[in-house]
Structure 1
Amino acid sequence: MVFLKDRIPTIEDTGMAGLGRRAELARSWMFEASFPLWSENGVADGGGFWESLDLQGRPLENPVSRVRVQARQVFVFALAAVMGWQPKRSLELVRTGLRTLHQACRREDGLYGRTVDLNSRELSDDRADLYDSAFVLLAHAWALRAGAGAVALTGGMALSMAIDQRLRCLENRGRYFERLPTIGRVEQNPHMHLLEASLAWHEAARDQRSLLRSQELVALMESRFVDRKLSGLREIFAEDWGPHEDDRFEAGHQYEWVWLLHEHARICGGPVSSAAALLYRKARELTLPNGRLYLSHTLQGDIREPVHRCWGLTEALKAQLALVCSGNTDSITVANEIFDRLWADHIQGAVSGGWLDRLDASGTPVSNDMPASTGYHIYLAISELLRAEKVVKG
């Protein structure tokens, strides 16, 4: 299971050859080190997945976990199965994760709560949550693609219906309540992940309702979440769409929407939303010359949270790869540079198969553990890297 550090090459190529070498490196790390680590140390004895490992790769056996982590780990092993890593073992973990979601995380109304106690197999926070429910829908989509069969299909269809029946805001097309009871504000982030899950569910199950939902969510983003005067994606609004004290810019989310808008165009067969170019410019504006991203900025552009998180770079990489897949070969060089920053900052210095999730403003690692939730971001970015390589090669 050890991925030897001296096998990591110094990649100097900046063009297509460099993209291929980086894809090969990333796939080897994922297959030889990361999937083995998390399939062994990240799985709880009684079922489900640990919230995090320590920096040496040992499980931190806290029984309370976020439901989104359970869902993301189902996605991770479904992706592993689809990519061909130990398909039997991967599918076994997918089915184990689905059982945990269905038996311990699902509410009577078909929605999913926020946190679960893996010992008692009960929700420790049973408030319905759009963000967590969206990730559970994403997990079902990929479980279906991986071969989980009827349990994934029926579970995903029931959840998709519950989201529309219980969380949809009838007064505002495309708007969903973030939580029940409602929280008195509007957050773009859960809507973004509902779009991601809706696209994945449509692609896996050919569900037309999810396709319509995705179109409504894109329209909501274009009309509400994007501020044309400030040329960027805003995060938090008052219930009446007025200003909110927690509003901000997050460079990582600007990039994430760029990728999602390209995914929407790919899956739906239409043009890429014009908002993608605007968000890409804002994201690049908020990116430091060394390629790092601060977690958030004020709407005036001042640094709000001087922390560098791994997920921001994975979203930057996905956005750049979306441009590569759309025919912008000039983006290959930037994609290579982003990959190198991601690798140097968050993977190369970590235990074999793991990651350093958080750096301070100077670039010094400050993580106390390895959150399992980060794997969703890294593995998805690597799968997009492998896809982009194939697209460019033709």
Structure 2
Amino acid sequence: MDSLTFQTARCQHWLTQHALPRWLKTQSNQTGTFVEGLLADGQELSHNLIRFRVQPRQLYVFAHATELKLIDGRNLVNTAIEHGFPHFGSVVSGYRFAITKHGDVHSESINLYEQAFALLGFAWHYRLTKSKDSLISMESIYEFLLTHLWDTKYGGFFLTEGNTTNKGQNPHMHLFEALMVSYEHTDNPIWLERATQIYQLFRSQFLQIGHLAEFFQTDFSLDPEIGSHVDPGHHYEWIWLLSHYEKLTGVNVAGTIKTLFKFAQQYGHNTNGLVRDEIYENGTPLRSTSRLWCQTEYLKACIALWERDPTDSHRAAICQAVELIFTHYLNPAIHGLWVDQVNETGQPLNRHSPASSFYHLFLAFSELLRLTDED
């Protein structure tokens, strides 16, 4: 068994024997919502706050796993749409950031990020069920974005309804992902046209000379306080997204991918090989800690690069990326859970597994399964 075959089997075993069985039990029978996370001993995290983003992310995991015949999660997916989502709002009113035991202004905010994942959730529900209601909901979400968050002067979407001073790369990136998924699941070209608008925004605003910027003011000038802060993980995430966009459209993104990869490789890793959480635009470290999601995005980028150029070095990079994920994030946790963040020496910094990270893990591992199925 070669290294790639071993690592792929390892990922599939972890998903089917440990993670999926454990997290299938984390949807509330009373509310239809998924838990915010699990503690290191496997008990439910008792938390004041449950974020909306956890709901469509977990829905995605169980819908995609069902499609791949790893589990049967149809009941959970339907329950999330019918009972879980409505606790946070609707496609007409928008989905608020979180529900809390003690309400606060932040939890009530209607953000671009949450709506992007709502679209992803309904797109996957449609994929699984072919529900016309989900098609209608998808369109309603996009219309909500245009009505409440679109900047008619400078273009792009504001981060939060009612706040016309800030814009960000990250929620646009996830909207780009959701729009491409919507196109793939419906075959309706309008979704790809909408994705192309985000791609054009990426090219004209987010992509700077040599790197990807994150934080902007209304006119897309860099935020004066945090505009120099850069996420290497998002560089890798965009590599995978752009490669996927190229498959759908035929647009040549090779030069852009090379730029993103060069910057992230040069400045974005600690000496232990893990992707850093955050650096400055000049490459100096800002935070030397390493979140799990940054490593899964690196794995996805390695897979995309191997598909573009199937060399031995790219194949080896995939195997090494998987090895680092297991060594630092999965093996130290009980079966089916994960460490979410480590310091620069590899020591865990948290005592619970955020549910939101399962989306990153499953998507990366499912890409590996797809790669070896096609190989």
TM-score normalised to the size of structure 1?
0.88
Q: What corresponds to 1:158 in structure 2?
A: 140
CA pair 61-44 structure 1, distance change in 2 beyond 3 A: farther
| Residue 63 to residue 49, structure 1, CA distance change in 2 (3 Å) | farther
Deviations 1:148-168, CA, capped at 9 Å, x for gaps: 623432222221222233222
- 1:383, distance to aligned residue in structure 2 (A): 0.4
Counterpart AA for 1:377? H
Q: 2:27 maps to which residue?
A: 43
Q: Match for 1:232 among 191, 195, 211?
A: 211
| Aligned with residue 341 of structure 2, among 345, 348, 358 | 358
Q: Deviations over 1:94-146 (max 9, x none)?
A: 011112454212247342211124x89xx983321100110111111122222
The question of 1:77 aligning with 2:62 is answered yes
Deviations 1:12-54 (A, max 9, x none): x7xxx311221111011101110010111x2223221010110
Structure 1, 76-85 or 250-259: larger mean CA deviation: 76-85
Letter in 1 for 2:355: A
2:167 equivalent to 1:182:
no
Alignment-mate amino acid for residue 51 of structure 2: R
Residue 251 of structure 1, CA deviation: 0.7
Match of 1:297 in 2: 279
Equivalent of 1:34, from 19, 24, 28? Answer: 19
When residues 252 and 304 of structure 1 are mapped into structure 2, their CA distance, relative to the original with a 3 A threshold, is same
Contact residue 275 and residue 295 of structure 2 kept, 8 A: yes
Give the direction of change, closer, same or farther, for the CA distance of 1:63–1:81 in structure 2 (3 Å limit): farther
Q: Give the conservation status (yes or no) of the 8 Å contact 1:35–1:353.
A: yes
Match of 1:385 among 351, 368, 373: 368
| Partner in structure 1 of residue 127 of structure 2 | 145
Structure 1 equivalent of residue 226 of structure 2: 246
Q: Distance in 2 between matches of 1:148 and 1:353?
A: 30
Unpaired runs of 5+ residues, structure 1, are: 1-12
- What's the C-alpha RMSD, in Å, of the aligned pairs? 2.2
Query: Deviations 1:156-185 (Å, cap 9, x if unpaired)?
Result: 222122223322222234x11111111512
CA distance in 2, matches of 1:59, 1:157: 35
TM-fit CA distance, 1:320: 0.6
> Secondary structure of the equivalent of 1:180?
coil
CA 1:207–1:172 in 2, change beyond 3 Å: closer, same or farther? farther
What residue identity is the alignment partner of 1:296?
E
**Structure 1 stretch displaced more, 145-154 or 250-259:** 145-154
CA distance in 2, matches of 1:45, 1:321: 38
Question: CA shift at 1:81, angstroms?
Answer: 0.8
Q: Is the 8 A contact 1:19 1:332 kept in 2?
A: yes
Contact 2:154 2:218 in 1 (8 A): no
Q: What pairs with 1:1-394 in structure 2 (closer than 5 Å)?
A: 17-40=2-25, 42-46=26-30, 47-62=32-47, 64-87=49-72, 90-107=73-90, 109-117=92-100, 125-147=107-129, 149-173=131-155, 175-182=156-163, 184-228=165-209, 231-244=210-223, 245-247=225-227, 248-272=229-253, 274-285=255-266, 286-329=268-311, 330-391=313-374, 393=375
- The runs of at least 4 consecutive aligned structure 1 residues that moved more than 3 Å come to 107-110
Q: 1:111 to 1:350 in 2, by over 3 A?
A: same
Alpha-carbon deviations, 1:64-121, whole Å to 9, x = none?
311101111111111111111232xx0100011112454212247342211124x89x
Could you tell me which runs of 5 or more consecutive residues in structure 2 were left unpaired when the two chains were aligned. none
Q: Is the 8 A contact 2:92 2:140 kept in 1?
A: no
Judge which range, 206-215 or 150-159, deviates more.
150-159
> Would the aligned equivalents of 1:50 and 1:63 in 2 still touch at CA under 8 Å?
no
Residues 237 and 93 from structure 1, CA distance in 2 versus in 1: closer, same or farther, beyond 3 angstroms? same
Counterpart-to-counterpart distance in 2, 1:284 and 1:258 = 12
Looking at structure 1, the residues matched to 186 and 143 of structure 2 have their Cα atoms a distance apart, in angstroms, of 13
CA contact (8 A) 1:53 1:60 kept: yes
Task: State the secondary structure of the residue aligned to 2:200.
Answer: helix
Contact 2:277 2:291 in 1 (8 A): yes
Deviations 1:325-372 (A, max 9, x none): 223323111111111011101001111111000101211011121100
Match for residue 3 of structure 1? Answer: none
SS at match of 2:286: strand
Query: In 1, distance between residues paired with 2:290 and 2:143?
Result: 37
CA distance in 2, matches of 1:365, 1:200: 34
Letter in 2 for 1:23: T
Letter in 2 for 1:56: D
Closer, same or farther in 2 for the Cα pair 1:71/1:63, shift >3 Å?
farther
Instruction: Check the 8 A contact 2:55/2:85 in 1, yes or no.
Output: no
- 2:158–2:165 CA contact under 8 A, matched in 1: no
SS in 1 for 2:58: helix
State TM-score, norm by structure 2: 0.93
